[in-house]
Amino acid sequence: MNIDFHAHILPGADHGSSSPETSLRQVGLARRAGIDVLAATPHFYPNLEPLSEFLERRKQAEIRLREALPENAPKLLIGAETHLCRGLEHMDSLEQLCFGGTKVLLLEMPHDFSIRAYEQTLDALLYERKLTVVLAHIDRYPTSVVDFLLELGFLAQINAESFCHMRSRKRSMVWAQELQSVVALGSDLHGCEIGYRDFLKMKERLGETYTTIMSRTQELLGIE
Global confidence as pTM: 0.96
Is the Cβ–Cβ distance between 163 and 209 less than 8 Å?
no
Tell me the three state secondary structure of residue 169: helix
- Report the run of H or E that residue 186 belongs to, with start and end: strand 182-186
What are the domain boundaries of the chain?
3-221
Flag whether pLDDT at 211 surpasses 90.
Answer: yes
Q: What angle do CA 132, 134, 140 make, to 5 degrees?
A: 160
Q: How many Cβ atoms from other residues are within 10 Å of residue 71's Cβ? A: 4
Q: Under CATH, to which class is 3-221 assigned?
A: alpha beta
Q: Report pLDDT digits (tens) over 188-210.
A: 999 999 999 999 999 999 999 99
Dump the DSSP string for the chain.
--EEEEE--STTTSTT-SSHHHHHHHHHHHHHTT-SEEEE--EE-TTTS-HHHHHHHHHHHHHHHHHH--TTSPEEEE--EEEP-TTGGG-TTGGGGSPTTS-EEEEEPPTT--HHHHHHHHHHHHHTS--EEEES-GGGS-HHHHHHHHHHT-EEEEEGGGGSSHHHHHHHHHHHHH-TTEEEEE--B-SSSSTTHHHHHHHHHHTHHHHHHHHHHHHHHT--
pLDDT for the residue numbered 167: 87
**Is the pLDDT confidence value at 112 over 90?**
no
Name the pLDDT band for 124 (thresholds 50, 70, 90).
very high
3-state SS class at 49:
coil
pLDDT digits (tens, 9 = 90+) for 26-48: 999 999 999 999 999 999 999 99
Tell whether the model's pLDDT for residue 100 goes beyond 90: no
pLDDT of residue 44: 98
